[in-house]
Amino acid sequence: MSLNAPVVTVDGPGGAGKGTVSLRTATVLGWHYLDSGALYRALGLLATRNEIALNDEPALVKLAKNLELEFRNDQVLLDGEFVDRLIRSEQAGDRASRIAPLAGVRRALLDWQRACAKPPGLVADGRDMGSVVFPAAICKIYLTASAEARAKRRFNQLRLKGFDVNIRQLFEEITERDQRDANRPVSPLRPAEDAFLLDTTELTIEQAVEEVLKLVQSALDLSE
Ligand code: C5P
């Protein structure tokens, strides 16, 4: 599969800093950014609104094929409606990870995601960006952090967005979601073979971005 533009993939479990690090990296490079988790979260929301069970694969595939999603700055629009608040809760993340194991759903979202690889380049964040969606990416990064650090970050992030959260409960939800993502047979959460592993437990966001930019720069130098 050849790509229309260079792609950098940033995969890893929830709360490892993927979103912030990827968005900042994309901004520094002047590249596009794909938050693939938002697709699964938006689909989960759409399913709930349409009273479709989260294991009804044929109905979910149909929804996925017709998903009208748009990213505008850091806001997500579903059928023209701003849905950020509705898809950012931990409950929405849980719903997303229940539909994400369905092979048909994942297949239906492939073209949409691949179409995001446009010049001058794309930074894509998710679980299977490097392993499945963009196997030809020029630089693949797998961000991790301890479960405690990830729960703490998610806690701060959600609090900042005005959600009422409990850190203990969040820790349990995050580890449960990790288990589900890592143990599914289709596109499990796992580093691509050629991915660089970056543990962000002891790093600030700025330091993590700096590390990622160094990796991207050497990949770009090599690809010239
Ligand atoms: O990254 P985020 O927390 O928004 O993802 C929500 C859920 O969507 C994940 O827990 C995972 O189950 C699913 N997902 C996925 N593949 C991706 C991105 C997200 O399976 N590329």
CATH number of 7-218: 3.40.50.300
Q: How far apart are CA 192 and CA 196, in angstroms?
A: 9
Q: How far apart are CA 68 and CA 90, in angstroms?
A: 22
Phi/psi at 159 (nearest 5 deg)?
-60, -45
Compute, in angstroms, the gap from residue 146 CA to the centroid of ligand 1: 18
Specify which residues 57 forms β-bridges with: none
* 181 C-beta closer than 6 A to ligand 1: yes
Per-residue model confidence (pLDDT) at position 47: 97
Q: Is 117 in the pocket of ligand 1 (CB under 6 A)?
A: no
Tokens of 54: 């989260």
Q: Residue 37 Cα, ligand 1 centroid: separation in angstroms?
A: 4
> What is the model's pLDDT at position 208?
95
Domain boundary assignment for the chain = 7-218
CB neighbourhood size of 70 (10 A): 10
Q: Are strands 75-78 and 69-72 parallel, antiparallel or unpaired?
A: antiparallel
CA distance 128 to 124: 10
**pLDDT (0 to 100) of residue 30:** 97
Instruction: Compute the distance between CA of residue 207 and CA of residue 154 in angstroms, rounded to an integer.
Output: 18
Residues of the chain with pLDDT under 50: none
Q: What is the pTM of this model?
A: 0.93
Separation between Cα atoms, residue 218 and residue 59, nearest integer Å: 44
DSSP-based three-state secondary structure for 54: coil
Q: What is the pLDDT of residue 222?
A: 84
Can you state the angle between helices 167-183 and 90-99, rounded to 10 degrees? Answer: 10
Instruction: State whether the beta carbon of 45 lies less than 6 angstroms from ligand 1.
Output: no
How many whole angstroms separate alpha carbon 111 and alpha carbon 50? 24
Using the mean position of ligand 1's atoms as its centre, give its distance from the Cα of residue 94 in Å: 9
Q: Please report the pLDDT score of residue 90 as a whole number.
A: 84
Which runs of consecutive H residues, i.e. helices, occur in the chain?
18-29, 37-49, 57-65, 84-87, 90-99, 103-114, 147-160, 167-183, 205-223
Q: What distances in angstroms separate CA 207 from CA 43, 109, 195, 200, one per listed residue?
A: 33, 32, 19, 9
Q: What are the pLDDT digits (tens) for 190-202?
A: 899 999 999 999 9
Q: What is the chain's Cα-based Rg?
A: 17
Helix, strand, coil abundance in the chain, percent, nearest 5: 50, 15, 35
The tokens describing 222, both together, are 């090599």
Q: Among 22, 19, 25, 3, which Cα is nearest to 138's?
A: 3
Per-residue pLDDT tens digits for 180-191? 999 999 989 889
The reply to whether ligand 1 has any atom less than 6 angstroms from the CB of 22 is no
Cα distance from N-terminal residue to C-terminal residue, the chain? 19
Atom of ligand 1 lying closest to residue 40 CA: 8
